[in-house]
Structure 1
Amino acid sequence: MARIELETFIGAPPEDCYALALNVQAHLDSARQTGERVLDAPACGNLGLGDVVTWEARHLGFRQRLTVRITAASPPHHFRDDLVQGAFKTLRHDHYFEASPGGTRMRDVFEFSSPAGFLGRWFDRLFLTGYLTRFLRIRNAMLKQQLEQRP
């Protein structure tokens, strides 16, 4: 299983960071470069424990569908989304929000594996890890920008 860990400092309180990270529209805004859209999600704007959402986006030149469930939540410090269905064999994304002087240290731990055995592990290491790291950095930069521009 491949693992990506990223940290981002955001000049906003953990409660605000946590809420925005679970907001469906904020996710769409942060993934605009992939043409992401929601196929199925709860009626409200923010996801919560047990919620399932299906996203569709263009990744690596292919239209992909990914369904995840929020499987752990302890506001405003942590939530996890796990793969229900999609192109990965496994996918787990932990989101951590720790109060820090002047704001929040947001940390992502993203673990995944491709379904193609040895070739999948090779693909994960040589290509997919870099692609997903860039995707997460763009998402985090958009969340940071949205939170720090609030009055």
Structure 2
Amino acid sequence: MPVIKIDTYIKADIKIVFDLSRSIDLHLVSAAQTNEKAIAGKTSGLMELGETVTWQAKHFGVTQKLTVIIADLQSPDYFADEMIKGVFKTMRHEHFFKTIGKQVKMTDVFAYTSPLGILGKLADALFLKNYMSSFLKKRNEIIKEIAEDLEKYKKILPL
């Protein structure tokens, strides 16, 4: 099972970073390159414990759907979303937040199992793990950019 771990340091309040990380509206901005849309479940605002969202996006030229649930949430330190339907065999994305001085260390731990047995493992090695890492890093760059700029933050999540 591939596991991707990414640490991002953000100069902002932990609550701001936590809320942006579970914002559907922020996710739509950060995933614009895949034409991502929230098509079912919660489709805007902040995800809460037990809520689901179904995303539709184009990856590798193929339109795909992924439904996730917020499986765990302890504001403002942690939440996890898990796939309940989609292309992966399994998928769990954990989000950890810790204040260190005047910044927040945001840690993503993204664990998944590809479908198709040995073919899925081959895809992981050849391109999928790198693709997912890049996708998550781009998302985190957008979170950082918006969290560190109050005017941009207010456009996503009004105070």
TM (norm. structure 2) is: 0.92
Question: Paired residue for 1:119?
Answer: 119
Match of 1:102 in 2: 102
CA distance in 2 between partners of 1:91 and 1:131 (Å): 15
Distance 1:62 1:84 in 2: 20
Shift of 1:25: 0.4
Q: In structure 1, the residue corresponding to 2:150 is in which secondary structure?
A: coil
Same amino acid, percent of matched pairs: 38
CA distance in 1, matches of 2:2, 2:43: 33
Which residue number in structure 1 is paired with residue 49 of structure 2? 49
- Segments of 5+ residues of structure 2 without an aligned counterpart are 152-159
User: 1:70-85 to 2 correspondence within 5 Å?
Assistant: 70-85=70-85
Aligned-pair distance for 1:13? Answer: 1.4
2-structure distance, mates of 1:33, 1:108: 20
Aligned counterpart, 2:137? 137
CA deviation profile, 1:68-106 (whole Å, cap 9, x unmatched): 000000010000000110000000000001101111000
Q: Matches of 2:11 and 2:60 in 1, distance apart?
A: 32
Count the aligned residue pairs. 151
1:125 Cα offset (Å): 2.1
Amino acid at match of 2:89: K
Question: Structure 2: which amino acid aligns with 1:97?
Answer: F
Instruction: Tell me if structure 1 keeps the 8 A contact 2:20–2:26.
Output: yes
TM-score, normalised to structure 1's length? 0.96
User: How many Å separate the matches in 1 of 2:33 and 2:27?
Assistant: 12
Give the ranges of 4+ consecutive aligned residues of structure 1 lying more than 3 Å apart after TM superposition.
Answer: none
Closer, same or farther in 2 for the Cα pair 1:43/1:118, shift >3 Å? closer
> Is contact 1:113-1:124 (8 Å) kept?
no
RMSD: 1.1
1:33 alignment partner AA:
Q
Could you tell me whether the CA contact under 8 Å between 1:38 and 1:55 is conserved in 2?
Answer: yes
1:141/1:43 CA distance change after superposition, 3 Å: closer
2:66 corresponding residue in structure 1: 66
